[in-house]
Amino acid sequence: MGLTSRLLRVAAARPHALIVAPVGGTSGRLAVEAELARRGWPVADHPADADLLVVTAAPGPEVRAVIERLWRQIPHPKARVEVAEPEQASAALALGAAHLADCEHQLQHVAAPAPVEHHPTPGRNPDHGHESHSGDREPGAGGGDGHGDGHDGAHVGATADARGRGGPHTGHDSGMGGGMEMPGGLPMADLGPDRDGLTLDRLHVPLGPVLPDWPPGLVLHVVLQGDVIQEVETQVLDPGEGGPSFWHEPGRAAPRELDALARFLAVAGWYDLAARSRRLRDVLLTGAPLEQVHGPAAALVGRVGRSRTLRRLLRDLPAGPGDVADLLGFRLAAVRAALGAPDSPPASRVGLDELADLLLGAELAAARVIVAMVDPDTEPVTSRPVGHG
Amino acid sequence: MADAAPSSPFAAALPLWTVALLPVLLGAFTWAVVAFDVALAGRARGGGPSGIGSAVVVAVRETARLLVGQRRATVAADRVLWRVGGAVLPVGALLAAVVLPLGERPVADLSVGVVWFNAMEVLAWASVWMVGWGANSVFSLVGGYRFLVQGLAYELPHMFAIITAALGAASLRVTGIVDAQQNLWFVAIMPVAFVVYLISAAAMAFWGPFDAPVGRDLAGGAAAELSGIDRLVFTGGRWLLLVVAAAMAVPLFLGGGDGPWLPAWVWVALKTGAVLVVLVWARRRLPTLRMDRYVEFAWVVLIPLTIAQALVVAIVVLARGAM
């Protein structure tokens, strides 16, 4: 036990944090990201790599279900904290790290025997049963679709979509799995014609709401063949939470655009420039005048715009009427405009319907870039009655 | 040349106990590279603890974290493929490293050393795909297949590049290739092959900008469901593979242990370190390359270039032989 507790203490000095930013959690997310950067703690891409689950607002009922599922997916040792107010970020992270370092706490509170869950395959850790590449998988970091429990649902083959879309168990009708015992109790994928005239498996996969650099609360229910998106349905979890968007306060156009740019750069795998964009955003949010960051921010935008590699990667990737390189042009123009006129209202965003149109026929990698690039508004734009769940 | 080399595969090799030394040496190198990468990341972030000390400790903290971490299981996972796949990565890297001259002599001086290295390094294909498939999860699976596509893109130019070095020395024995560079390092007469080798070294270790198989857009890709010791083995193996691939550039193109004043092993270490610095630095300069775009560049530009390079080297070798 001495060795374990010592290892726990060594490891807890640099935990990996998985951030869950629901609708209304943007200010909390920004505070947590800034605090993580200050401490030098990495942001986890997915639950398997996380120690610390950080929720950046009081979650509504749909997000709460996702959080419970994520919590079960995170390997021990683990800790969860909620940052209801941005000012609490530092204290909350410190508390989480203290819980991680505390061997007694881990044994008694976190690893305490959970209620036994039924699982068709014996000897498997019930904390993690949720995946299926052939069925309605709840992606590791993708959380789920916010209804039912993907954990239970995935393996009993009953993840019937709450909105009546055919689940993967329709595969039973295709004659592939009728009456047979499926591995792990998972249903088979159904078949459908694809763009090349072949008949391929159709996978129903929810993207979001917890993916790295993903809009708050957004879930895309996609039907994949290979990694090509054939159908998209959009959903926002707990859309009414948290009042008007943090970004729609006056004077926040520039940090918002820098935040969107950072998320696009991170999805594109340009981590250094993403970090730089975040740093400039944080400087602005601490109240520094725009002049202070104007030079470096303009240099950053210029560098991204001049990158021939990036342009070659994005050119001719279809996205609606144009290509993804066009979208990059709009994004960079929006950053420039926000830097030039600090008090201007934030650039308008595409709606979710329009986003779905852009994503049809895109490959998974392109879809991630497109979502990051258009940065859709999922938080309420105007003030509306706040309905806490 | 090949004829001058001893006929037994182990005649020019180091004593057998160095087999145990090899993982230690590579581990130390890996630790140093991780620290360097962490220091660069800290600088880019512009906050957090900085300095050599904290960067060196990060690898220790990460290892401790993954050692106490719980192993993850997923529904209907192919656990044999999944676990074996992760373990194949470090094992393949270590096996590839036995032909690396640590100074003047390698642990095993195989007469077909270059082929051996290539065969072991290709185990990474199997490894990443098995890890991606085994977890039975969408993002893992897509990540695994991304690496197969990546393999198709980088492997052909890579093989032309390393075979050009063998051609220049008229030997597949790694020590034979080093001996052939006593007057002139191969980087001088085959610069294209050298650059292509560096690119493919990054690609085979799915190191940025070739990190799409484990990319952030896939929430970790092939590695998305790994935790605890499995994650330690897989990511450790990836770092090892990067170090071994960088180290192989030294005997192939940079004259091995050739250099003034210092002993050969110091030169090998210094040159390996220099190649690693280039690879670690380069990943911060570029966004992740998507293979559907890169494969075009690799096949239309790099393959003809490397073939032309091999042709030039072949003519030089023939002309020398005729003299």
What are the pLDDT digits (tens) for B98-111? Answer: 999 988 888 888 88
Q: What angle do CA A278, A146, A161 make, to 5 degrees?
A: 135
A141 contacts B224? CB cut-off 8 A:
yes
Q: Does A323 touch chain B (CB under 8 A)?
A: no
Over range B71-93, report the average pLDDT: 85
Cβ atoms of A369 and A264 closer than 8 Å: yes
ipTM for this prediction = 0.87
pLDDT (0 to 100) of residue A148: 33
**Selection from A322, A9, A111, A374 nearest residue A218 by Cα:** A374
Q: Does A129 touch chain B (CB under 8 A)?
A: yes
**Which positions in chain B touch A183 (Cβ < 8 Å)?**
76
pLDDT less than 70: residues of chain A? 1, 112-189, 241-242, 342, 345-348, 380-389
Q: 3-state DSSP helix/strand/coil percent for chain B, to nearest 5?
A: 70, 0, 30
Closest Cα in chain A, distance from residue B290 (Å): 7
Instruction: Show Cβ contacts of residue B261 under 8 Å, excluding neighbours closer than 6 positions.
Output: none
- Spatial distance between the Cα atoms of A259 and A282, rounded to a whole number of angstroms: 9
**Which positions in chain B touch A140 (Cβ < 8 Å)?**
137, 139-140, 219-220, 224-225
What is the gyration radius of the CA atoms in chain A, in angstroms? 22
How far CA B55 is from CA of A36, A271, A274, B36, in Å, comes to 16, 18, 21, 7
Over range B140-159, report the average pLDDT: 91
pLDDT (0 to 100) of residue A241: 64
Closest Cα in chain B, distance from residue A244 (Å): 28
pLDDT (0 to 100) of residue B6: 46
pLDDT (0 to 100) of residue A124: 36
- Spatial distance between the Cα atoms of A314 and A262, rounded to a whole number of angstroms: 17
Higher pLDDT, B302 or B264: B302
Residue corresponding to tokens 């004659």: A175
Count of CB atoms within 10 A of residue A358's CB? 24
pLDDT (0 to 100) of residue A86: 85
pLDDT grade, residue B274 (50/70/90)? very high
- Spatial distance between the Cα atoms of B30 and B33, rounded to a whole number of angstroms: 5
* pTM of the predicted model as reported, rounded to 2 decimal places: 0.83
pLDDT (0 to 100) of residue B182: 86
Amino acid at A138: E
Q: Which two tokens stand for residue B28?
A: 């130390």
Closest Cα in chain A, distance from residue B54 (Å): 10
Antiparallel, parallel or unpaired: β A218-225 and A228-236: antiparallel
Antiparallel, parallel or unpaired: β A318-319 and A190-193: unpaired
Lowest model confidence (mean pLDDT) among A79-93, B61-75, B197-211: B61-75
Cβ atoms of A210 and A141 closer than 8 Å: yes
pLDDT (0 to 100) of residue A188: 65
Q: Say whether A230 sits in a helix, a strand or coil.
A: strand
What are the pLDDT digits (tens) for A335-388? Answer: 888 888 767 766 667 778 888 888 888 888 889 999 988 888 887 665 444 444
B60 contacts A10? CB cut-off 8 A:
yes
Nearest by CB: A310 against B42, B58, B287: B287
- Spatial distance between the Cα atoms of B1 and B177, rounded to a whole number of angstroms: 8
Q: Say whether A279 sits in a helix, a strand or coil.
A: helix
A45 contacts B216? CB cut-off 8 A:
yes
Chain B interface, best mutation among A1, A4, A10, A90, by max B CB count within 10 A: A10
pLDDT averaged over every residue in chain B: 87
For residue A357, give the H/E element and its range.
Answer: helix A352-359
Q: Count contacts between A and B (CB, < 8 Å).
A: 206
Nearest by CB: A272 against B75, B211, B284: B284
**Selection from A218, A243, A252, A192 nearest residue A367 by Cα:** A218
Over range B26-36, report the average pLDDT: 90
